[in-house]
Chains A and B, each alone.
Chain A
Amino acid sequence: MKQSFFGLLKKIIQTGIGKGRLLMATIGLGIAMFLLLLSIQMHTDFNQLLYNQQNQNESVDFLVINKKITNDMMGQSEKSVFTPQEIADIKKQPFTAAFGFITSNQYKVTAAAPGDLHFYTEMFFEAVPDTFIDVKSEDWKWQAGDNTIPIILPNDFLNLYNFGYALSQGLPQISQETIKALPMKITISKGLLTQEFTGRIVGFSDRITSFLVPGSFMEWANGKFGNGVEAAPSRVIIKTKDPSNPVLVKYLEDKGYSTNQDKLKYSKTKVIVQTIVSVIGFFGLILLLFALLVFSMFIQVVIASCKREIQLLVTLGTAPRQLQRYLMRQFVPLYIFTAIISLLLITGLQWKAAGVLAGMNMFVSSWISPGTAGAALLVIVLVYIVNLQSVKRYINEIS
């Protein structure tokens, strides 16, 4: 006839009285935990869809920002430049990972095709810091004395020529390789001062729609041919981790800046998903609160119904701590059981969702995120602490 102390306590402290409440509390806790974990997992999945390497070519994005040209501003080019205050403000925004000016030329530029191609045009150059350029080329460098200027053209420009202009005018279409092989005669001038260079196309940019030359050349040429005053930039480029960041989108809108809208398209979807996730998480939290409340009521009922027995146990020398441990032992397996069931459900859903999404060429992990598992643990710890407090309080009240 050997029985453990807790085994004997089980015969004295009947927890059966609150079974209905306990069941309700456990079910509530289960649903609450499920909703909370679901919202966290959905959040993780959505972020994965947006930023994962598999789902996107670049993990960061570059935005060229300029002021919108409105009818009021026409003819007043100084209104389209960024003031130092505006630049400082953009720089300090949390979404700005890096910032660069797009520097324009302060001199005239003409380009002519070699030989008898009879191609001549006036043009412009711009320069951006090298880190913002998506073309990797050995030839992308210039130092004073070099007679050859490397140039990057926008990809769109070549497309416009090949598919718009050339076709309609009966001119030959040109491949990238051919253009790269063609030396252009570049003349830059300011008044009577002129200098000739050989321009060589070294690449085509998808990121920046402009004619780019190395910063070192721009600096040198603006120094020699410019008016000596540094021009205020009217276009700037920023590097950002998340072009769909609603904060960024709102900032641009508020300031009247414009950028490549296509890059911002995820922003709206993101706001919607975030709202749904928040609502689910919110309901989860509310339900968790109710579950905690019902647990607390259950504890109160059990302790109140065994008041005499608990008092006698304490009289005989049972430590309040022993009673707390005993009561908590009745609950902890329930928490763990609930957490395991919720986690299993979420894992199943995630596995299924990953399968369905993969069919649409969207990739999310087929396992739940560590954050979700961590959250389950956190909920258990929270419920444990809250219940332990109730047990302590009610036992203290009667002992």
Chain B
Amino acid sequence: MQLQLENLVPIPLRDKILQRTSDLWNQVVTFTPGSFVKIKAPSGTGKTTLVHYLYNIRNDYSGKVLVDGQAWDAYKKDQIARMRQQQISVVFQDLRIFDQLTAAENIELKRVMLPNPYCTAEKVAEMAARLNVSHIMNQSGKTLSYGERQRIAIIRALVQPFEWLIMDEPFSHLDDENAQKAADLISEECRARNAGFILTDLDHDNRFAYDIHFNL
């Protein structure tokens, strides 16, 4: 699955963005499938906006986001759902965990969304153990700390098949040790799928072997 940006400019940030140069806004960019992409940007430059455009939950932009050569609006809702189940996964900055479900159920929801789940329940338990969240799996989403939610959101994103994983400041609530564990797990899972990722963050980091860096 190929992702391309074509002169993409968010309408609300248009004036601000056109005053300065950016590696991505208002450029023609192709993300090579399977590559690890880091997008570094200070606050307020539209990181989350970009992630939402890439994942197609916002469309207040000029220019185009091309998915396999076609703009998002060329796809039907059921096609987009299929992509989100099988080709593109996401970790939101605001995590988006269901409060009424337990941590385990939040992950299970995504796992069994496909009639033939991509990974086993044992695999989920193993990932939870690696990220030190096994003990909170039966707690309701409402009672989880931000750090715990973040790790649940990461595991949730990893239980499905994907070609691209999009992450918006995925380690913002984690200490360095836990962040590195999560990064290692993400790396492994991407390699296992021959998938790439697009990660946005505020600062420079060396948690991954990035193939390419962009400044937003």
Give the B-binding residues of A (Cβ under 8 A).
1-5, 8, 11-12, 309, 312, 314-322, 396, 399
Asked whether A312 lies within 8 Å of B96 as measured between CB atoms, the reply is: yes
Asked whether B109 lies within 8 Å of A319 as measured between CB atoms, the reply is: no
Q: Chain B residues with Cβ under 8 A from A3's Cβ?
A: 105, 108, 112
Q: Is B192 an interface residue (CB 8 A)?
A: no
Asked whether A318 lies within 8 Å of B113 as measured between CB atoms, the reply is: yes
Q: How far is the CB of A306 from chain B (nearest CB, A)?
A: 10
Given A3-B105, A5-B112, A8-B112, the answer on whether A319 and B100 have CB atoms closer than 8 Å is no
Tell me the complex Cα distance, A11–B109, Å: 11
Binding-face segment, B31-39, B76-84, B144-152: B76-84
Tell me the complex Cα distance, A317–B101, Å: 17
Tell me the complex Cα distance, A322–B80, Å: 13
Instruction: Kindly identify, within residues 167 to 192 of chain B, every residue whose CB is under 8 Å from any CB belonging to chain A.
Output: none
Asked whether A321 lies within 8 Å of B121 as measured between CB atoms, the reply is: no
Asked whether B104 lies within 8 Å of A320 as measured between CB atoms, the reply is: no
Known: A3-B108, A317-B84, A317-B113. 12 other contacts (CB 8 A): A3-B112, A5-B109, A5-B112, A8-B105, A11-B100, A317-B81, A317-B160, A319-B77, A319-B78, A319-B81, A321-B78, A322-B81
Q: Is B74 an interface residue (CB 8 A)?
A: no
Residues of chain B at interface, number, CB under 8 A: 23
Q: Chain A residues with Cβ under 8 A from B104's Cβ?
A: 1
Chain B residue with the shortest CB-CB distance to A2:
B121
Chain B residue with the shortest CB-CB distance to A313:
B109
Q: Chain A residues with Cβ under 8 A from B112's Cβ?
A: 3-5, 8
Q: Is B75 an interface residue (CB 8 A)?
A: no
Give the residue of A4, A12, A314 whose beta carbon is less than 8 angstroms from that of B101. Answer: A12
Q: Chain A residues with Cβ under 8 A from B96's Cβ?
A: 312, 315-316
Give the residue of B57, B82, B109, B121 whose beta carbon is less than 8 angstroms from that of A315. Answer: B57
Q: Chain B residues with Cβ under 8 A from A5's Cβ?
A: 109, 112-113
Subset of 24 A-B contacts with CB under 8 Å: A1-B104, A3-B108, A5-B113, A8-B105, A11-B100, A11-B101, A12-B100, A12-B101, A309-B100, A314-B77, A316-B109, A316-B113, A317-B84, A318-B81, A318-B113, A319-B77, A319-B78, A319-B81, A319-B82, A319-B85, A320-B77, A320-B78, A321-B81, A322-B81
Chain B residue with the shortest CB-CB distance to A317:
B84
Asked whether A317 lies within 8 Å of B85 as measured between CB atoms, the reply is: yes
Q: Is B98 an interface residue (CB 8 A)?
A: yes
Q: Is the interface of A mostly helix, strand, loop or mixed?
A: helix
Tell me the complex Cα distance, A318–B77, Å: 10
Q: How far is the CB of A6 from chain B (nearest CB, A)?
A: 9
Give the residue of B81, B98, B110, B160 whose beta carbon is less than 8 angstroms from that of A314. Answer: B81
Q: Chain A residues with Cβ under 8 A from B81's Cβ?
A: 314, 317-322
Q: How far is the CB of B8 from chain A (nearest CB, A)?
A: 20
Tell me the complex Cα distance, A11–B141, Å: 13
Interface-central residue, A314, A317, A399, by most chain B CB under 10 Å: A317
Chain B residue with the shortest CB-CB distance to A314:
B81
Tell me the complex Cα distance, A8–B112, Å: 9
Asked whether A8 lies within 8 Å of B108 as measured between CB atoms, the reply is: yes
Q: Chain B residues with Cβ under 8 A from A322's Cβ?
A: 81, 113
Give the residue of B84, B109, B160 whose beta carbon is less than 8 angstroms from that of A8. Answer: B109
Asked whether A12 lies within 8 Å of B98 as measured between CB atoms, the reply is: yes
Asked whether A1 lies within 8 Å of B121 as measured between CB atoms, the reply is: yes
Tell me the complex Cα distance, A90–B110, Å: 74
Asked whether B105 lies within 8 Å of A11 as measured between CB atoms, the reply is: yes
Q: How far is the CB of B140 from chain A (nearest CB, A)?
A: 10
Tell me the complex Cα distance, A315–B77, Å: 11
Q: Chain B residues with Cβ under 8 A from A12's Cβ?
A: 98, 100-101, 109
Q: How far is the CB of B183 from chain A (nearest CB, A)?
A: 22
Tell me the complex Cα distance, A11–B77, Å: 24
Tell me the complex Cα distance, A316–B78, Å: 13
Given A2-B121, A12-B98, the answer on whether A316 and B110 have CB atoms closer than 8 Å is yes
Tell me the complex Cα distance, A319–B82, Å: 7
Q: Chain A residues with Cβ under 8 A from B110's Cβ?
A: 316-317
Q: Chain B residues with Cβ under 8 A from A314's Cβ?
A: 77, 81
Interface-central residue, A8, A11, A316, by most chain B CB under 10 Å: A316
Chain A residue with the shortest CB-CB distance to B108:
A3
Tell me the complex Cα distance, A321–B84, Å: 14
What 1/0 flags go to B56-81 for Cβ under 8 Å of A?
A: 01000000000000000000011001
Q: Chain B residues with Cβ under 8 A from A11's Cβ?
A: 100-101, 105
Q: Chain A residues with Cβ under 8 A from B113's Cβ?
A: 5, 316-318, 322
Tell me the complex Cα distance, A314–B78, Å: 10
Closest 10 CB pairs of A and B: A317-B84, A319-B81, A317-B85, A5-B112, A8-B109, A319-B78, A320-B77, A317-B81, A1-B104, A315-B57
Q: Chain B residues with Cβ under 8 A from A320's Cβ?
A: 77-78, 81
Q: How far is the CB of B71 from chain A (nearest CB, A)?
A: 19
Chain B residue with the shortest CB-CB distance to A311:
B57
